[in-house]
Amino acid sequence: MSEAALLELRDIHSGYDKKPVVQGVSLRVGAAEMVALVGPNGAGKSTLLKTVFGLLRPTQGEVLFKSQEINGRAPAENVKRGLCYVPQGSRVFTDLTVYENLAIGGYVLRDRQELKARIERVLELFPLLTERLRQQAGRLSGGERQMVAMGRALVLEPQLLLLDEPSLGLAPGAAKAAMQAVVQAHERLGNAILIVEQNVREVLSVASRAYVLRLGEVVLEGPARDLASSPDLRKAFLV
């Protein structure tokens, strides 16, 4: 990529307390690009997303978003500037309705009509939720809760969406539907996505590029479809 990256990580080191997890990761995500981040359990993928979003502060290196360093910038500020994060586990406010969950996603929007219009655009991406708007989110299926979690982030129409294993814990059919929703949102909104996903073959079939992490380091990178057919991919998952 010769153009300026929307997101660029330079030699990022990060972890918890004194335990290093991510060790020297560098990567780039271009505007309107979907990039996959895959690797075995414990490779540091989720830690890296949390570091980008500001939930963790890197101990070394630079996180640049729109060419500005954002090391340790508060997550709320990142959201206002166009960077959103959907963590693992289909996290929703279980006691609130689907509509209320989506509305919370637009908490920084002061114009109520604009919020309503954005929620309507999200419902075009997830039409099944239209039938569930007044239902408590805690009563939804796992796949439906994942749609709500993604929809809540998409209400703000972020320039970059960080997705952490959207198919985690879902049945095969629901997992496939979740991935299709990611692709549809990407195509319609034209935003950039950095996605961590356990279903490696599936995500490599839809992403443009990919990075493979192992023990906190990038061991492979390149066009996603090339990596999917590379014999080195399987080796990277052998622990």
What's the pLDDT band for 209 if we cut at 50, 70, 90?
very high
Measured CA angle at 138 (ends 135, 143), to 5 deg: 90
208 pLDDT more than 90: yes
**How large is the average pLDDT for residues 104-119?**
89
> Considering the domain boundaries, does residue 79 fall inside one?
yes
User: Is residue 1 included in any domain, yes or no?
Assistant: no
Q: What is the mean pLDDT of residues 68-92?
A: 91
Model confidence at 103: pLDDT above 90: yes
179 falls within a domain: yes
Please report whether residue 141 resides in a domain. yes
Confidence of residue 142 (pLDDT cuts 50, 70, 90): confident
- Any domain includes 224: yes
Average per-residue pLDDT for the chain: 91
Residue 36: CA count within 13 A, CB half-sphere: 31
Q: CATH number, domain at 75?
A: 3.40.50.300
Does residue 2 sit within a domain? no
Of all residues in the chain, what percent carry a pLDDT higher than 70? Answer: 97
Number of Cβ within 10 Å of residue 142's Cβ equals 17
At 219, phi and psi to the nearest 5?
A: -110, -20
User: Among 200, 142, 197, which Cα is nearest to 164's?
Assistant: 197
Domain extent, residue 138, equals 7-236
What is the reported pLDDT for 2?
42
Q: How many domains is the chain partitioned into structurally?
A: 1
Evaluate whether residue 181 is within a structural domain: yes
The whole model's pTM is what? 0.92
pLDDT of 90 strictly over 80: no
**Beta strands 192-196; 34-38: pairing state:** parallel
Question: 8-51, pLDDT tens digit by residue?
Answer: 999 999 999 889 999 999 999 999 999 999 999 999 999 999 99
| 219 within some domain | yes
Q: In this structure, are residues 218 and 9 in contact, taking their beta carbons and an 8 Å threshold?
A: no
